[in-house]
Amino acid sequence: MTEQTSRRVSTSDDIEVSTYLEIAKEKKGERSSPTQEPAPAEREAVVILDFGSQYSMLIARRVRECHVYCEMVPFDAPWERIAALKPKGFILSGGPASVYDEGAPLAPHEVFESHLPVLGICYGMQLLAHQLGGRVAKGVKREYGHAILHQNMSSSPLFADLPPTLPVWMSHGDHIVEAPPGFEVIAYTDNSPIAAMGNREGMIGLQFHPEVAHTPQGKTILKNFLYNVCGCKGAWTPGNFVSESIEKIRAKVCNGRVICALSGGVDSAVVASIIHQAVGDQLTCIFVNNGLLRREEAERTLSVFQRNLKMNVVYKDASERFLERLKGVIDPELKRKRIGEEFIKVFEEEAAKIGQVQFLAQGTLYPDIIESASSGRGAAATIKTHHNVGGLPKNMKLALIEPLRDLFKDEVREVGLALGMPEEMVFRQPFPGPGLAIRIMGEVTREKLDTLRAADWIVMNEIKKAKLYRDLWQSFAVLTSTRSVGVMGDDRTYGYVVAIRAVTSEDAMTADWARLPYDLLARISNRIVNEVPAANRVVYDISSKPPSTIEWE
């Protein structure tokens, strides 16, 4: 897919999408694709076997940026699952283990028996050496950080059109002392005589990390592997994704009926748009007011979808039900699961009113799947349960349709642009499914919700006035469970501490706290303590992800 556009537009929560109808509307009774690009006959894919590297998700992003579809799977995933993707090649990620340790994770033997191209990165390279007859040893001198890579005289398709010396990023203690039979050393550093190796079958190992920004030509190296070695053609584009998704949805739904959860965010809007183009009036969108939305959000969202998107929209105010389910709940995981369960109950009740509904559409994204993965034999640990993943009941009656579950957020935005959606909607900051419930520490009450809505409104208003909205991944207020003593006039106060959170990110898998101007923070703080009666202190969160998450719960 193409890289995210950097065009700046004025952004408002009161989204106006009238232009959407002029670009993407269909003639009555017709189902047309929004793009001239034909769907590829077969999706080309590369499989990334994850051995626990902190950079594994970055590898996936870089591959996608080269217009090649990829999936990241645990190193010990069943081979049937891997083979079903019909890969054109494999990438073995780095990892914290040493290949000579007892019980160290190994690559499936089927990878090598497939005779497909393999790119081993760091630990992945050491696996190639260890499993194919080479030798790996603990390094006398570890190599972390910047290094200069020198190509040998022999040419390699991996380094096509690149200079003979390259700055790269190293992060390893072990090193290869003997390449496997049939492998040639194609590059070295001062500390690693075998920094890159390869054979005639397209198996290549790199001791450095091409996926990180500290390896400036790393993306070119990955692209050379994908195009020159694997033979990929770069068909992973927004237009092809839309066409492919439409055909899959039509085949799955047939004459059935679909309900889609609308939230006002880009994910659900893109899902609804794709499904509407696939099955038309067989789709009914349901917008649930769970009582956990921001100020005026329910009214604005309902107006946008009913007035402009011309879809069947059912509005359900279930605020009291959700607040009742959250009464006395403090644990964040329990909050998420109860909200997810209640969502499904509401949907199933509304589906029964519509009649003959078989499918529930959701805006689940790839990071949702990764963060909700349960720790087990694979490398992924549960960070937090997303309400639309782990929060779903096991006995749910509706089959799921999740056309975006393979995409990162920036890819969803590109699909939205391909659908003709306006930038004001496409680049709206993410808002979590559990809403303000996970921005309130401790029990969720009506009083706390009113306090947080008022503070959050001020944060958003000032961020937009400072023209920083599009520069930030997310910006919002958090109501902590802490109260502090203050003084206003001659009176003592004992009010809530409000935290401000603003981060920059590409996909929410990692994030850094935003260096907001001091005068902006001062305006936000002054307005909150003066305009929100229950709050008397404001703090700014300067934690990055990792180790923190973006949301506080």
CATH number of the domain where residue 508 is located: 3.30.300.10
Is the model more confident about 468 or about 379?
A: 468
Catalytic residue among 66, 122, 232, 260: 122
- CATH code for position 339: 3.40.50.620
Residues 242 and 130 in one domain: no
Q: Please tell me whether residues 408 and 510 are part of one structural domain.
A: no
Reference 301, options 323, 286, 280; nearest CA is 286
Q: pLDDT tens digits for 93-121? A: 998 888 988 889 999 999 999 999 999 99
Does 328 share its domain with 397? yes
pLDDT in tens, 312-352: 888 999 999 999 999 999 999 999 999 989 988 887 888 88
Report CA-CA distances (Å) from 298 to 15, 285, 309, 319, 475. Answer: 12, 14, 16, 11, 19
The per-residue pLDDT for range 418-438, each reduced to its tens digit, is 888 877 778 889 888 899 999
Contacts of residue 131, defined as CB under 8 A and 6 or more positions apart, other chains included, come to 106, 107, 109, 112
Question: Is residue 130, in this structure, part of any structural domain at all?
Answer: yes
The per-residue pLDDT for range 250-276, each reduced to its tens digit, is 999 999 999 998 877 889 889 999 999
pLDDT reported for residue 141: 62
Residue 113 has what pLDDT? Answer: 95
261 and 353 fall within a common domain: yes
Residues comprising the chain, all counted: 553
Query: Do 202 and 86 lie in a common domain?
Result: yes
Active site residue 122: yes
Residues 261, 152 share a domain: no
Q: Is the pLDDT of residue 14 over 70?
A: no
What CATH code is carried by the domain that includes residue 225?
3.40.50.880
- 150 a catalytic residue: no
Say whether pLDDT at 20 is over 60.
no
pLDDT at residue 433 in the model: 85
Average of per-residue pLDDT across 220-240 = 93
- pLDDT tens for each residue of 173-191: 788 999 999 999 999 998 8
Residue 69 DSSP class: E
Q: Does residue 97 share a domain with residue 220? A: yes
The answer to whether residue 7 is domain-embedded is no
Structural domain contains residue 545: no
Same domain, 52 and 24: no
SS3 string of 492-552? EEEEEEEEEEEEECCCCCCEEECCCCHHHHHHHHHHHHHHCCCEEEEEECCCCECCCCCCC
Count of structural domains, the chain: 3
Average pLDDT, the chain: 84
Local confidence band at 21 (pLDDT 50, 70, 90 cut-offs): very low
Q: Which of 45-54, 352-361, 376-385 is predicted least confidently?
A: 376-385
**Residue range of the domain that includes 453:** 440-540
Marked catalytic residue, from 65, 143, 211, 553: 211
- DSSP, collapsed to helix, strand or coil, labels residue 475 as strand
Question: Mutual orientation of helices 238-253 and 266-279 as an angle, nearest 10°?
Answer: 60
Q: Choose, from 209, 276, 386, 387, the residue flagged as catalytic.
A: 209
pLDDT value of residue 393: 56
Average pLDDT over residues 185-203: 92
- Lowest mean pLDDT: which of 45-49, 207-211, 278-282, 378-382? 378-382
Q: Which sign does the torsion angle of CA 138, 140, 145, 151 carry?
A: negative
The pLDDT assigned to 312 comes to 85
Between CA 346 and CA 353 the distance in angstroms is: 11
Is 297 among the catalytic positions? no
User: pTM of the full predicted structure?
Assistant: 0.67
